[in-house]
Chains A and B, each alone.
Chain A
Amino acid sequence: RKEVEQDPGPFNVPEGATVAFNCTYSNSASQSFFWYRQDCRKEPKLLMSVYSSGNEDGRFTAQLNRASQYISLLIRDSKLSDSATYLCVVNKGTDSWGKFQFGAGTQVVVTP
């Protein structure tokens, strides 16, 4: 089993619709969680951190479910500019400080 797993997609989303996808992780000791977005042939850019209580940043909402070991990202009112690959990132734990594990990414395509 991979340490961080994501549905590769693509998720084809009409403009204005809502899309949500999950990321599962295997290490129960993982401490920090993030969502990054990556545009084609560009570097990953931090989208948001994921907190235990869940957090929202504009149209983006991130949730953490420690019991089931997954994080989720929800995008409301999708824009064409939201088309990208979304990477789930997990920090492996206190003995692996800063050793971030990336998922392979979920591709989102927003269509007019």
Chain B
Amino acid sequence: DAGVTQSPTHLIKTRGQQVTLRCSPKSGHDTVSWYQQALGQGPQFIFQYYEEEERQRGNFPDRFSGHQFPNYSSELNVNALLLGDSALYLCASTREVDYGYTFGSGTRLTVV
């Protein structure tokens, strides 16, 4: 049973560019959340998707947007990249939040 899969694993982009990160949730999970983790910090909540809608959002600017597809997979889009967007981006899925989330191995984004 595949867990949460993310692609790509690593990415280098130039400041001002746009990036799309992808996530396939664990089988049986229908809720997907995205997190940003800077070096030495805990993951910061970006947003959560359920039934193809953004249900919750953290304190991230509108440059961060997302989408969830009918098969529950999800994308995270970041426009107008800044150097400060360099981080590990984690996707997490769950069927029931009281049971916690399962995380993917992340996409490490470097903005130069």
Contact = CB atoms under 8 A, between A and B. Distances in A.
Interface of A: 4, 32, 34, 36, 42-46, 49, 87, 89, 91, 96-105
A46 B56 contact: no
A89 to B, nearest CB: 8
B48 to A, nearest CB: 5
A36 B37 CA distance: 14
Nearest to A31: B98
Given A96-B56, A97-B56, A43 B45 contact: no
Contacts of B94: 98
A100 B103 contact: no
A44 B56 contact: no
The listed residue with most A CB atoms (<10 A of its CB), out of B43, B48, B99, B101, is B43
B110 interface: no
Interface in B8-34: 31, 33
Contact of B106 (A43, A87, A100): A43
B91 to A, nearest CB: 9
Given A45-B103, A97-B55, A99-B58, 9 more contacts: A43-B90, A43-B106, A89-B100, A97-B97, A98-B55, A99-B48, A100-B101, A102-B42, A104-B40
Interface string B53-78: 00110100000000000000000000
A96 B59 CA distance: 13
Contacts of A101: 45
